[in-house]
Chains A and B, each alone.
Chain A
Amino acid sequence: MRIAVLSGKGGTGKTTVSASLALSLGNYQYVDSDVEEPNGGIFLNPKITDILPVNVKVPAVDENKCTGCGICSKTCQFNAIAVIKGMVLLFSEICHHCGACIIACPEVALYEIEKTIGVIEKNEDATFMQGKLNIGEPISIPIIQKLKDEMNPHIPIIIDCPPGASCNVVESIEGCDYCILVTEPTPFGLHDLKIAVKLVEKMGIPFGVVINKSSKDSKIIHKFCDKNKIDILLEIPFSRDIAEAYSKGRLPVHENAEWKEKFRAMYEKIKRGVNK
Chain B
Amino acid sequence: MKICISSTGSSMDSTLDPRFGRAVYFIIADTETMEYESIENTAALSGGGAGVTSGQLMADKGVSAVITGSVGPNAMNVLKAAEIDVYRGLPTTVKENIAKFKEGSLEKIDSPGPSHSGMGGQR
Contact = CB atoms under 8 A, between A and B. Distances in A.
A binds B: yes
A220 interface: no
B43 interface: yes
Contacts of A94: 48-49, 52, 74
Interface string B78-89: 100111000000
A80 B52 contact: yes
A89 B78 contact: yes
B55 A82 contact: yes
B53 interface: yes
Interface in A238-264: none
A85 B78 CA distance: 10
Nearest to B49: A79
A80 B56 contact: no
Interface in B19-51: 43, 46-50
Contacts of A273: none
- Among B49, B56, B78, B82, the one with the most A-chain Cβ atoms within 10 Å of its Cβ is B49
Contact of A91 (B43, B46, B49, B83): B49
Nearest to A78: B49
A113 interface: no
24 contacts: A78-B48, A78-B49, A79-B43, A79-B46, A79-B48, A79-B49, A79-B50, A80-B49, A82-B52, A82-B59, A82-B81, A83-B56, A84-B56, A84-B78, A85-B59, A85-B81, A85-B82, A85-B83, A89-B52, A89-B81, A91-B49, A94-B49, A94-B74, A138-B48
Contacts of B52: 79-82, 89, 91, 94
Given A84-B59, A84-B78, 13 more contacts: A78-B47, A79-B46, A79-B49, A79-B53, A80-B52, A81-B52, A82-B59, A84-B81, A91-B49, A91-B52, A91-B74, A94-B48, A94-B74
Contacts, number: 46
Contacts of B64: none
A73 interface: yes
Nearest to B74: A91
A52 interface: no
Interface range on chain A: under 10, 10 to 19, 20 to 34, or 35 or more?
Answer: 10 to 19
A188 to B, nearest CB: 18
A98 interface: no
A230 interface: no
A209 B46 CA distance: 35
A76 to B, nearest CB: 8
Contacts of B47: 78
A83 B43 CA distance: 16
A87 interface: yes
A43 to B, nearest CB: 29
A210 B50 CA distance: 40
Contacts of B78: 82, 84, 89
A261 B120 CA distance: 48
Given A79-B43, A80-B49, A73 B56 contact: yes
Contacts of A79: 43, 46, 48-50, 52-53
B77 interface: yes
Nearest to B78: A82
B66 to A, nearest CB: 14
Nearest to B50: A79
B96 to A, nearest CB: 30
Interface in A197-239: none
